[in-house]
Amino acid sequence: MHFSPEFWSIFSFLPLFVPSLRDPEYPSSTPNPPGGNGTEHDALWLAASPPKYPSPWMDGSGEWATAYKRAQAFVSQLTLLEKVNLTTGVGWQGEDCVGNTGEIPRLGFPALCLQDSPLGVRNADYVSAFPAGGSVAASFDREIWYQRGFEMGSEHRKKGVDVQLGPVVGPLGRSPEGGRNWEGFSPDPVLSGIAVAQSVRGIQDAGVIACTKHFIMNEQEHFRQVAEWNGYGYVFDEAISSNVDDVTMHELYLCKPFADAVRAGTGSIMCSYNQINNSYGCANSYTLNHLLKGELGFQGFVMSDWQAQHSGVSSSLAGLDMTMPGDTLFNTGYTFWGTNLTIAVVNGSVPMWRLDDMATRIMAAYYLVGRDEASVPVNFNSWTTDTFGYQHAFAKLDYGVVNEHVDVREEHGRTIRDHAARSTVLLKNTGNTLPLTGKEKFTAVFGEDADNNPWGPNGCSDRGCDNGTLAMGWGSGTSNFPYLVTPLTAIQNEVLFNGGIIQSETQNWAYSQIMSLAGQASTSIVFVNADSGEGYIGVDGNIGDRNNLTLWRNGEALIQNVTAYCNNTIVVIHSVGPVLLTPYYDNDNVTAILWAGLPGEQSGNSIADVLYGRVNPSAKLPFTFGRTREDYGTDILYDLNNGENAAQDDFVEGIFIDYRHFDRAGLDPIYEFGYGLSYSTFAYSGLQVEKHAVGPYMPTNGTTKAAPVLGNYSRDLADYQFPSNLSAVPFYIYPYLNSTDAADASDDPSYGSDDFIPEGARDGSPQPRVAAGGGPGGNPRLYDVFFTVRATIQNTGSVVGEEVGQLYVSLGGPNDPKVVLRNFNKLSIAPGASATFSADITRRDLSNWDPVQQNWVITSYPKTVFVGSSSRKLPLSQRLSI
């Protein structure tokens, strides 16, 4: 039997002495991923990713039962061509959205519209610009995350979007310089996990499918895509490989955050550009088949990042369900799926059950969130803000109304203002400098970051510049501002209302004017920033990832010039993550410091609410402010290190990033993870630990059912030809064939030259279930509640305030971090009053990943619970008896 066509050709030029690079098709001799305990590392260099086949088929477990049945009923009616249409995008700029599947006209089923971003609707007008994920992480507030998700989801729904391309937990934030960290939440996996779950629920309750991304180890922009980085003058042939051991994969990157997104029911997950242990994110049978669909029991569909698919048959067998935007590279007119997938299924390279599973997963996500009832036709166009334009932008075809300018913002501006204010972290407040009264004698505002971008808030495409106040990073994770309230405008309104004096100097290099104004001011407020974004744009030489951790636009000199002449200087930082505060944080003339993150459209109003005390700050740092860049212990790989082959990024730090690293290395940060002040003060007392009766852990056993096959199909290629009456859109991707000769129709230069199919990849018989699996999010027993922890938090100050009580655990082993965040609870408390903090500890919270057993275990090392106000202020603790 001849299994063709074969699309392994992408690998054919790789040197044979690097067999692991040929994964997943190369039968690896490594039974498991590199071992390791998360601290010391095996040789990860040229790490291999073991093959794991077949791709698990959806079984409707958890909350998916009804959606699964409806999806199967729908898919059962489809022809092979119609199923292929669901899985394949029509090509870059083929339709209105950044991604569009084919449609099913016979059943009146419209194309699915996929649209960026994780902070609003990208490439559209009359939409809101929400605070970034990395900002709202600081709120430590489940309600804020849910509400923000719901409002973003509503805006997408009303624009006609089926899938919102967000939220983000990859990057997690391994290195603070990572260009897209701000799109996600926090380098702490538990904080990220809870935030992503709430975001998924919010988006999907609004009737839109969430796409949690990017799966997995997508931790830097450098070398993520070959063509992009060839364009910057780097010569190499395959994307960077993030090399990681099994413990680190499980304890840091996979569980929680992705496991929590799956458990919350995320309808789709986007696979990433990078390789993981030298196998591409979108063709990695280990990460997609085994970890995501096997162990985590993911029921939805895996969608490729844009141009992250590099092969046809292999990606399908490795667990990819939808290719975006559909063409091999933008606007080639060719595709790895579409025509090629039709041929591959007809000749048996891809089994029919696998195509049925792809289509079922897509339709199940559709029904799960109620798309059949929530859907409206797409009413905007990603490629123009004009009313008129081409329906098929790249082909310049079908001119007409493409943008109806539907205003979907509702009252979201109010919540955006509130959420950004409640995500602003107060780091320093000498002698209660803040809140201000508005009656200060002479207020001076400094910094470009206080003022407008002279080119307008959307003056730089995809926010690819650092002009004016920073309220969003750059790249595809953006939306257009409907307006951007600057800090200067809002502060000026405040001061003028109170009859005061306000002046500003917003040119960062105007030293003499800065110093002169600072010398007159009784209160100076200095705005500074640091930006980053996605790798297809470079700003000031920062190609996505930041080149350093210092301020941009001469920020340090600005602060120095102001503090030299004003003994009451308040510093406000808008940044994508940590910056080095070392030169000025302990200057006595710096009387207050606020980290305001990336606040979105209401920036000025949000910061004014905090500065003038309408909002009492309660946010906590979702990362560490260290003293030096080196103190973080992790960094971007800025240089190729494997000749012209894939750069090898060994995650040798294991699970020790951010505060886990600072704690282990005994380094003093400036402001630790979890830290944040209030205008009030709080005291912790009375720790109580309630133990629950819990049954034993039960590894999942037994086998799955056989893969369902939904319908028959013809094996005659004549039945799949382009319809004679179709006037094909140029460069558009279709499921049809141009010839009854498979090699001609496929147009694959290596067609039929290789008949390798990974062992077992087409086996649809019942398969053993994964012991650590058993339902969406993994083995259900992992979520058993072992303990409920309570403590008393008293407001010892004089104003009402919110306090985030934080629960940390020490797992006690020699390779465990000193403490790890496991839960938190935000309480609003009146002055003098007390409230009860309460939080659960689950089995998973107490477990370590055992790479030998391939399961979670509670070790015999002593476990301790801590409660307090930051990762280093933990006044209450107790040994846990398990």
Ligand X SMILES: *[C@@H]1O[C@H](CO)[C@@H](O)[C@H](O)[C@H]1NC(C)=O
Residues in contact with ligand X by the rule CB under 6 A: 7, 9, 35-37, 39-40, 42, 81-82, 85, 90, 102-105, 111, 312, 328, 333-336, 339-340, 454-455, 460, 465, 467, 511, 515, 539-542, 547-548, 550, 552, 557, 560-561, 563-567, 587, 589, 698, 701, 722, 728, 735, 738, 746-748, 814-815
Q: Answer whether 243's CB lies under 8 Å from 47's CB.
A: yes
Q: Which is nearer to ligand X, 82 or 356 (CB)?
A: 82
According to DSSP, the β-strands at 241-243 and 275-276 are parallel
Cβ 567 to ligand X shortest distance, Å: 3
Q: How far apart are CA 305 and CA 116, in angstroms?
A: 11
Q: Shortest CA distance to 882 belongs to which of 809, 814, 773?
A: 809
Q: For residues 169 and 265, give the distance between their C-alpha atoms in angstroms, rounded to a whole number.
A: 15
Shortest distance (Å) from residue 465 CB to ligand X:
3
d(C-alpha 44, C-alpha 47), whole Å? 5
Least distance to ligand X, CB of residue 108, Å: 11
DSSP per-residue string spanning 278-293: SSBTTS-HIIIIIIII
What is the C-alpha to C-alpha distance for residues 47 and 634, in angstroms, rounded to an integer? Answer: 19
Residue number with CB closer to ligand X (698 or 830): 698
Distance (Å, whole) CA 585 – CA 165: 38
Q: Which sign, positive or negative, has the C-alpha torsion 636, 639, 645, 648?
A: negative
DSSP per residue, 58-96? P---GGGHHHHHHHHHHHHT--HHHHHHHHBB--TTSSS
Phi-psi region of 91 (alpha: psi -120 to 50; beta: other; left: phi over 0): left
Tell me if residue 681 falls in helix, strand or coil: coil
Beta pairing partners, 642 = 644
Confirm whether 840 is a catalytic residue. Answer: no
- Shorter beta-carbon distance to ligand X: residue 192 or 847: 847
**Residue 545 and residue 467 in contact, taking contact as beta carbons nearer than 8 Å:** no
Q: Least distance (Å) from ligand X to the CB of residue 695? A: 10
- Beta strand 425-429 pairing with 590-595: antiparallel
Q: Which is nearer to ligand X, 5 or 777 (CB)?
A: 5
Question: Minimum CB separation from ligand X for residue 659, in Å?
Answer: 21
User: Who contacts 747 (Cβ-Cβ below 8 Å, separation ≥6)?
Assistant: 334, 339
Q: Which helix (H) or strand (E) holds 390?
A: strand 388-392
Q: One-letter amino acid identity for 23?
A: D
Residue 752 backbone dihedrals phi, psi, to 5 degrees:
80, 0
Beta carbon of residue 559, minimum distance to ligand X (angstroms, whole number) = 9
CB of 573 to ligand X, least distance (A): 14
In sequence order, which ranges of 165-215 are alpha helices (DSSP H)? 189-205
DSSP conformational letter for 218: -
Q: Is 378 in contact with 161 (CB distance < 8 Å)?
A: yes
Residue 586 Cβ, how far from ligand X at the closest point, in Å? 10
User: Closest CB to ligand X belongs to which residue?
Assistant: 102
Which residue number, 212 or 779, has a Cβ lying nearer to ligand X? 779
Residue closer to ligand X, measured from CB, 409 or 428 = 428
Beta bridge partners of 802: 828
Give the count of alpha carbons within 13 A of 592, CB side only.
27
Grouping H, G, I as helix, E, B as strand and the rest as coil, residue 174 is coil
> φ and ψ at 865, to 5 degrees?
-105, 145
Which C-beta is closer to ligand X: that of 415 or that of 542? Answer: 542
Q: Do residues 26 and 19 make contact, with C-beta atoms less than 8 angstroms apart? A: yes
822 near 807, Cβ under 8 Å? yes
Binning the chain into helix, strand and coil, the percentages to the nearest 5 are 25, 20, 55
- Listed residue (675, 678, 677) closest to 621, CA to CA: 675
Q: Least distance (Å) from ligand X to the CB of residue 813?
A: 8
- Minimum Å gap between C-beta 176 and ligand X is 13
Rounded CA-CA distance 321/46 in Å is 27
Closer residue to ligand X, CB minimum distance, 455 or 497: 455
Q: Smallest distance, Å, CB 452 to ligand X?
A: 10
Distance, CA of 606 to CA of 367 (rounded, Å): 38
Which amino acid is it at 577? G
| Rg of the chain on CA atoms, in Å | 27
Residue placing its CB nearer to ligand X in the complex, 683 or 771:
771
Nearest by Cα to 480 from 155, 20, 167, 122: 122
Q: How far is the CB of 739 from ligand X (least distance, A)?
A: 8
Element spanning 484, H or E: none
Find out whether 225 and 630 touch, Cβ atoms under 8 Å. no
Pick between residue 150 and residue 334 the one whose CB is nearest to ligand X. 334
Least distance (Å) between residue 334 CB and ligand X: 3
Nearest by Cα to 316 from 24, 726, 681, 670: 24
The residue among 287 and 569 lying less far from ligand X, judged by its C-beta, is: 569
Is the Cβ of residue 195 or residue 514 nearer to ligand X in the bound state? 514
Closest to ligand X by CB, 554 or 842: 554
Catalytic position from the list 23, 305, 449, 531: 305
List the catalytic residues.
305
